[in-house]
Every structure is written in C-alpha cells, then in structure tokens.
Chain A
Amino acid sequence: MTDTEKLPVQPKRKGLTRRQKRSLSRGIQYAVFVAAVIAFAVSADWGRLRNQFAQVDIAERMFPDVITLALKNTVLFTVTGFAVGLALGMVIALMRLSSVGPYRWLAGIYIEIFRGLPALLIFIFIGVAVPLAFPGTEIIGGTYGKVALALGLVAAAYMAETIRAGIQAVPKGQMEAARSLGFSPARAMVSVIIPQAFRIILPPLTNELVLLFKDSSLVLFLGVTLGERELSKYGRDLASQTANSTPILVAGLCYLLITIPLGFVVRRMEAKAQEAVK
C-alpha cells in the first residue's frame, strides 16, 4: 500500500450533488412560471379585453387633454403637496429632535396621527370639516390649495421621520466641529448638518414623491371643476361617457410615464450615494 491510498476518501454520495439539486429546483421554478403565464394567456378573453380597454379611436380622442389638462394637474397637485410636506416635515423633524419636551411630544403625536390615517380621510376632513369649523374662510388657492394642504399634511408625517433619520445619520463630530468653531446650534444645523442630511435622504424623499403622485388621485373626493380634473378623475369621467374603459388604461400609462423614470432616477441616486460612502 502506498501513502496516497491511506488518505481519507470522500464519503460516497447517494443521489444528486448539491449543485445538481440546485439546478433541478431552478428548472422546476421556471417551468411553473412559464406554465402560469401560458395558462393566463390562453384562458383570458383577449377579444373582449381589447374591446373594453384598447379602443384606439377613444384613446385618440383623449389627446391632447389628457396631457395638457389631466397630467398637468396631477403634476401640479403633487409638486405643491410635496413642497408643503417638505416644509412642514422639516419643522416636525426638528421639533422631534428638540431638547424641549413638549415640542418632541407634539411632533410625535402629529406623526402617529397622520401616518396612521388613510390619506382619503384627510382629504374628506379638509374638504368638509375645515369649512364647517371656520365658516367664511377660504383656503388659499381653492382646490389647488386644499390638495396641497391635504397631501402636504400626509406627506409631512412620513417626511419628518425620513428627515429625522437623515439628520441623525450625520456623524456627531460634525455638530461638535461646527459648535467648536462658534456656530450657534441653529446655524450649525442649517449650514452644516441639514445639507449633509439631504444628501443621505434624497432617494427616500424621491420615493415619497412617487407615493404622492399616486395619492393626488384622491382629489376627486374634494369635488373638482372640469378644469381641475387630474388623471384618475379624467379617466373615470371619460370612461363613463364612452361606456368604455380605454381612458382608464391611458390614464394608467400616463402615471407610469412619470413614475418609471422617477424610479430610475432614485436607483441612480442610491447607487451614487453608495459610491460616495466607499
């Protein structure tokens, strides 16, 4: 006997190796997926679907209004709501981080309430309760002001938590360095901490913008004039006029026209932020 024959032999495997098992399981997953897609494609009644959702002449009639009016209003509602939410969210985040107890509690209560309520209820509240409580007062900007306020109130709760996390993610040494140079706490926050925090939270804030974009459809609960209709309302109105759902599909595509590029931008920014950390 030579030395090599005495070496411990690998135990003999029964059946498949781990690698073989893995590729077999992967193969089964693919097969199930393809089978499901085929079953769906065969069983759906495409003729009726096309009739109901893809009437080209109805779709053509929607242009250019769906862009110049509906999409424009959706973007307008979203951007103003985002602006209100950002300003209010910043104030609440700073209150949440304050050393003054009552400020912290107030901010905490605000966040819990507005994060816990469906956006729909906030819209109804703004539309019904505010005019009842303050008769004779008008929210500036009419419907546009109401939407900005309602969307902003909801967004502020989420954004406040995001901004707070961003501020806390800035290393403690930054505040210490600023204070030791003679910055007051407020000035250090504005000049040194918040600019760095915003770099960190840009991706989640953009996500919030996408969420708001979709929530802007809730404006229909405020009651809008023809000129104030946004994508969802516009699509639904046209759908009932024509007794056909094609406008819904077109409105949906218009949402994706904005949200998909925004999603790309967020991923790009996240990758860039990742690179900066390295």
Chain B
Amino acid sequence: MKSGRTEIRVSALHKSFGDNHVLRGIDLEIGQGEVVCVIGPSGSGKSTLLRCVNLLEEPSGGEVHVGGAELTDPDVDIDAVRRRIGMVFQQFNLFPHLTVTENLTLPQRRVLRRGKAEAARVAAENLRRVGLAEKADAYPSSLSGGQQQRVAIARALAMGPEVMLFDEPTSALDPELVGDVLAVMRMLADEGMTMMVVTHEMTFAREVADRVVFMDGGVVVEDGTPEEVIGRPRHERTRHFLSRLLDPAMADVEEETSDQVGKEP
C-alpha cells in the first residue's frame, strides 16, 4: 500500500443470483493511490465483485466500504457515494444521443449542479487529458471503440472521483486500439488515482499494478505483487489460468471442472 488510508474495504462479501453463488466470501482492501488488477477465468465473479463495489449489484451478504462510507448500509445515500467512484464499462455506455462534450457536461450539471461554463471547462480539460480534444463536438457513433472508451474515462474523471473502477475496459476493443486506452489508464495510475481494474491485459497488470488479485470460483485464490502472482504463482489454479491466457494455442481440450461457478448450488 502506498499510504496508510484504506480507500476500498470489502469484507465477507457474498453474492448470489438465484441458486448461483457467484461470490463466496471476498475480503479485500485497497489503499489510497493503489492500483489493483483483478484477474481470473470468465465466470470467476471478478466483474460481479467490481460491480458490488459501487452497488450496481446488491451484495447478498458482507460489507463494502468506500472512502469511509458503508455502501451496504440500507440508509446510505448511494448517489452521493457513487459521485466519488468513477466506473468504466466494457461496452463504454456513452450516451448516444449526446455529443462527446455533452456526455461530459450533462452529469456534471445534473448531478454536481455545476454551472454551464465550469462544466464546459472541466469537460474540455478532461478531453485533453485523454487526447480527444478535437472530438469535442462529435457523436459517439462516429468514434472508434478506443476513442469511445477514452471519452467514457474522461466522463468519469470529470466528476472528480477519488476511486476509479474499470470493468474489462479493453475487452470489447480491436487489438490495435487497446494501447491508447491502456496509456490513459497508466497516466491515471502515475497521477496517484486509486484504481481497481478487472482485466485480461497481463502486461498492464505486470507493469502498472501495485497488486494483482487472482479470483476463481467466487473466492480470492491469490493476492500479491505482480511478480508474486503472475511471476511465481503459488497455486495450481493460478498457474493453469496464466498458462492458458499467455499461450491459448497450447491449451488442451479439458473436462469442465466442478469448481466452476454455477455448477453447484
């Protein structure tokens, strides 16, 4: 941890969708300024964990604290807490009926009640940060996936968040567009933003993350520095996952294993 203060604290978190027990007791702490990458096979619950951190999914049990506020408290002002948490989605989720600038100004005006001029200034500043100042008046549909994702990051940043959550931000992108988005995320990390990133980009995890968390079957299997988790994984499950991820062409056909989520009640 870079500093003493804990920004995100998840304790004994459980989440079920009907009979499907997706999260089975997650404990995780992320300090201020820390960059944590969450990796794991699909269905391991890593996206669900991320979505529980800003309560897009309602946890079935356990507690989530962000910046001192308990999100799992039934009386919490969730909209107020969410203003401090930026979220970036796999599918970008820009507002298609608004221009790039309007995408950035509408939330500032409606949620933060900023004035027109200030919202426009903050929008322009953040578009410049992600390198898209010249696209200010374009509509999202005319942008490439990588540009849309950078606008989505700028939109979240314009709200002045203390924490940024990334849900597989590069998974929907063509391979040649991934680099631009990762560069913006790296810049944020260098600026000291607290980040929780669900990703399959191992190079990013190895170079930018302070910690890597490997999840499988709804639990945290390994948690440590990138050198520990990616370089010298202690668990067989981690090794197995990494070998398939780093060299998918060499994988064998295998039986479905029982510890995959959704197989047991």
**CB contact under 8 A between A182 and B89, given known A176-B56, A191-B106, A196-B96:** no
A183 interfacial contact with B, CB 8 Å: yes
Q: A173-B89, A191-B106, A191-B110 are in contact. Are A182 and B80 (CB under 8 A)?
A: yes
The proximity string for A residues 183-202 relative to B, scoring 1 for CB distances below 8 Å and 0 otherwise, is: 11001000110011001000
B107 within 8 Å of A (CB atoms): yes
B150 lies within 8 A of chain A by Cβ: no
Question: Which chain B residues lie closer than 8 Å to A268 at the CB level?
Answer: none
How many Å from the CB of A200 to the closest CB on chain B?
11
Specify which chain B residues have a CB less than 8 angstroms from the CB of A178 in the assembled complex.
Answer: 95, 107
Say yes or no: A183 contacts B110, CB within 8 Å.
Answer: yes
Interface residues of B in 152-173 (CB under 8 A from A): 152, 155-156, 159
The digit string for B79-113, where 1 denotes a CB below 8 A from any CB of A, is: 11011011101010111110000000011001110
A177 within 8 A of B: yes
Q: Which of B91, B97, B106, B159 contacts A199 (CB 8 A)?
A: B97
User: Residue of B at shortest CB range from A187?
Assistant: B110
Contact B89 A176 (CB under 8 A): yes
**B147 interface hit (Cβ, 8 Å):** no
A180 near B95 (CB under 8 angstroms)? Answer: no
Q: If the complex has contacts A174-B93, A191-B110, A192-B95, are A182 and B87 also in contact, measured as CB distance less than 8 A?
A: no
Within the complex, what minimum Cβ distance (angstroms) separates A238 from chain B? 48
In the complex, which range does the number of interface residues on chain A fall in?
10 to 19
B91 contacts which chain A residues (CB < 8 A)?
171, 173
Interface residues of A, dominant DSSP: helix
User: For B111, what are the chain A residues with a Cβ–Cβ distance below 8 Å?
Assistant: 181-183, 187
Separation of A180 and B155 alpha carbons in the complex (Å)? 11
**In the bound complex, what is the Cα–Cα distance between A249 and B56 (angstroms)?**
60
Whole-angstrom distance between the alpha carbons of A184 and B110 in the complex? 10
| Contact digits for A161-176, partner B, Cβ 8 Å, 1 yes 0 no | 0000000000101101
Known contacts A173-B89, A173-B91, A176-B56; is-contact A181 B97 (Cβ 8 Å): no
- How many residues of B are counted as interface, with CB atoms below 8 angstroms from the partner's CB atoms? 26
Q: Is B72 an interface residue (CB 8 A)?
A: no
Bound-state Cα–Cα, A176 to B110, Å? 16
Complex partner residue of B97 from A180, A183, A184, A195, CB under 8 angstroms: A195
Q: Are B79 and A183 closer than 8 Å at their CB atoms?
A: yes
Shortest CB distance A278–B (Å)? 10
Contact of A50 with B by CB under 8 A: no
Contacts of B83 in A (CB 8 A): 181-182
A196 and B54 CA atoms in complex are apart in Å by 25
Query: B79 touching A184 by the CB < 8 A rule?
Result: yes
Q: Are A176 and B80 in contact (CB under 8 A)?
A: no
Q: A174-B93, A195-B97 known; A180 and B79 CB under 8 Å?
A: no
Q: In the complex, what distance in Å separates the CA atom of A187 from the CA atom of B111?
A: 9
Residues of the B chain whose Cβ atoms lie less than 8 Å from the Cβ of A187: 110-111
A21 close to B (CB within 8 Å): no
Distance of A195 from chain B, by nearest CB (Å): 5
A267 within 8 A of B: no
Q: Find out whether the CB atom of A181 lies under 8 angstroms from the CB atom of B156.
A: yes
Interface string of A119-158 (1 = CB under 8 A from B): 0000000000000000000000000000000000000000
B96 proximity list for chain A (CB < 8 A) = 196
Q: Give A196 Cβ to nearest chain B Cβ, in Å.
A: 5
Which B residues are in CB contact (< 8 Å) with A214? none
Q: How far is the CA of A53 from the CA of B96 in the complex (A)?
A: 53
Instruction: Find A173's partner among B80, B93, B110 (CB 8 Å cutoff).
Output: B93
**What are the residues of chain B within 8 A of A176 when measuring CB–CB?**
56, 89, 93
B93 touches A177 (CB 8 A): yes
From residue B248, how far is it (CB to closest CB) to chain A in Å? 28
- Which residues on the B side are within 8 Å of A192 (C-beta)? 95, 106
- What residues of B have a CB within 8 angstroms of the CB of A171 in the complex? 91, 93
Residues in B with CB closer than 8 Å to A179 are 56, 79, 82
Give A227 Cβ to nearest chain B Cβ, in Å: 43
B89 near A174 with CB under 8 A, answer no
Which A residues are CB-close (under 8 A) to B89? Answer: 173, 176-177
With a cutoff of 8 Å between Cβ atoms, the chain B residues found around residue A195 in the complex are 97
**Contact indicator B87/A180 (Cβ below 8 Å):** yes
Q: Which of B80, B107, B141 contacts A181 (CB 8 A)?
A: B107
Instruction: State which residues 1-58 of B face A: CB under 8 Å.
Output: 54, 56
* Minimum Cβ distance to chain A for residue B43 (Å): 19
Q: A176-B89, A176-B93, A192-B95 are in contact. Are A182 and B56 (CB under 8 A)?
A: no
The 9 A-B residue pairs with the shortest CB-CB distance, nearest first, are A177-B93, A180-B87, A182-B83, A173-B93, A181-B107, A182-B111, A182-B82, A182-B79, A184-B79
Tell me the B residues contacting A by CB distance below 8 Å. 54, 56, 79-80, 82-83, 85-87, 89, 91, 93-97, 106-107, 110-112, 141, 152, 155-156, 159
Between A and B, 11 residue pairs with Cβ closer than 8 Å are A171-B93, A173-B93, A176-B89, A177-B95, A178-B95, A178-B107, A180-B82, A181-B82, A182-B79, A184-B79, A191-B106
Interface residues of A (CB under 8 A from B): 171, 173-174, 176-184, 187, 191-192, 195-196, 199, 276
